[in-house]
Chain A
């Protein structure tokens, strides 16, 4: 325990706390799925990615940046709108998810349709209701700006802009967003203690939720079904829309449960505003996991005291130092608002 605590301390001091260059793997985390991406993170590319992430020039009318929908103060989710809110007030069909610990995820989007973070950025940039641009035109606009050549040179040793470099830099910034300093994390490495209530909640969590929301990332990164009622307007069939396989109907990617106090509303369509509503949904459910095709069933029965205990545990997953880390915020020394 002490060894882990020391490692964690070192990680906090030399990893997370230094500007960004040495982003390490938190000692109590498993090996990331995109392991090399974490090893090869480099501060100049992250810096470039951060500029691009906050730059509205990535949208057709220069009104929307990635951060318009993924706000740092909401753990990079969006709380003003249930469904995504893009260019010229167009409303999309899904809720903007929180962004952190992405190197541990093996797929992206609510239906898991994108398998590599590098290429995820093509989706919002080209989506007519999000940024309504084309990748080629963004490359053109960025090449013509006086700001960027310097940063491309620092990151890639060559100031020429290309689609490849653009998306790789955006991905590097996002890979660098690591949330691993919640109360839960401190307890795991022996630097803190759960209250009795939180401990009871943790036990309930392990019995009822951990199969899908697997600790310490709080997701198994699989497509699973948690039996939400279908919204008749949206008719979102989840992974089925990508595969056309009946077994994938209503399958959605399991979201992490870290930072829930910041990232409401919840679920793929943002239907729940409060955690109590979420637990109301789960309180009497029999769920069947799709993971490994073993069809494990999970019977969930929660009484009202148990729900309160479980929520008190979920709140220990809030990571304030992540949400308020200035290294992730708007680069105000470089970009103008």
Chain B
């Protein structure tokens, strides 16, 4: 009697182990790597870059990639369970999404920025924790992109450069939706060209956009245009 019971338990444990290991074998990752660029150069923090007669140095660049989802050849959608990623060039540039071995990725969708629901709700944790400094302190809403640094040229030295891009309310909502075809591979790299983003209307904004509105929205559009996917 006890023997039988013991054997059953053993079979059960072996099966359990099997299931777990198969799960690990079949469960894989799709990685999305973010590569910031300044024109043709790779952008690194605290290095000078030239834009016309100005020299720009970036101190911090942080932004939100959210609502990541993948689609396979059968149009089957896989929504990532963690759906907010704070990309911080000081800390993290890669997102990992769990997929099944058999899943062949054909489409990648994600948003640049946070949606209105997230913005109007109460305090949130993890990557959305207000201690990351990505929540506007004087109004409601997340900053979708924070890019701070300094600008120098012949007449001014070390003027500050602050782009705090966001806003979720109509008509100045700034979230951007992106969608790329992907080869059946387990990784992709997105390049974001900050030269293109800043150049778009640098004269008008004078290297400062710090609240939601027309300028912020225009810059959000430039961000979308500047993003390319490579594999």
A residues in contact (CB < 8 Å) with B: 37, 113-119, 122-123, 125-127, 134-136, 139, 162-168, 171, 242, 244
Could you give, for residues 108-147 of chain B, a 1 whenever the CB lies within 8 Å of some chain A CB and a 0 otherwise?
0000000000001111110011111101111110000000
CB within 8 Å for A135 and B130 given contacts A113-B138, A116-B140, A127-B137 = yes
Inter-chain contact B137/A123, CB cutoff 8 Å: yes
* B165 CB to nearest chain A CB (Å): 17
- Note all chain B residues with C-beta closer than 8 A to A126: 137
- The reply on B48 being an interface residue by CB < 8 A is no
- Note all chain A residues with C-beta closer than 8 A to B122: 37, 116-119, 168, 171
* B214 CB to nearest chain A CB (Å): 9
Could you give, for residues 148-177 of chain B, a 1 whenever the CB lies within 8 Å of some chain A CB and a 0 otherwise?
000000000000000000000000000000
- Note all chain A residues with C-beta closer than 8 A to B131: 135-136, 139, 162-164, 166
Docked complex Cα distance between A119 and B129 (Å): 11
Inter-chain contact B133/A119, CB cutoff 8 Å: no
Kindly count the residue-residue contacts between A and B in the assembled complex, taking CB atoms under 8 Å apart.
65
Inter-chain contact A122/B137, CB cutoff 8 Å: yes
CB within 8 Å for A164 and B133 given contacts A113-B138, A113-B140, A114-B139 = no
How many chain B residues touch A (Cβ–Cβ < 8 Å)?
19
Inter-chain contact A163/B123, CB cutoff 8 Å: yes
Task: Find B138's partner among A116, A123, A171 (CB 8 Å cutoff).
Answer: A123
* B116 CB to nearest chain A CB (Å): 11
- Note all chain B residues with C-beta closer than 8 A to A119: 122-123, 130, 135, 140
- Note all chain A residues with C-beta closer than 8 A to B121: 116
Inter-chain contact B138/A164, CB cutoff 8 Å: no
* B157 CB to nearest chain A CB (Å): 23
Inter-chain contact B140/A118, CB cutoff 8 Å: no
- The reply on B39 being an interface residue by CB < 8 A is no
Inter-chain contact B140/A134, CB cutoff 8 Å: no
Inter-chain contact B138/A163, CB cutoff 8 Å: no
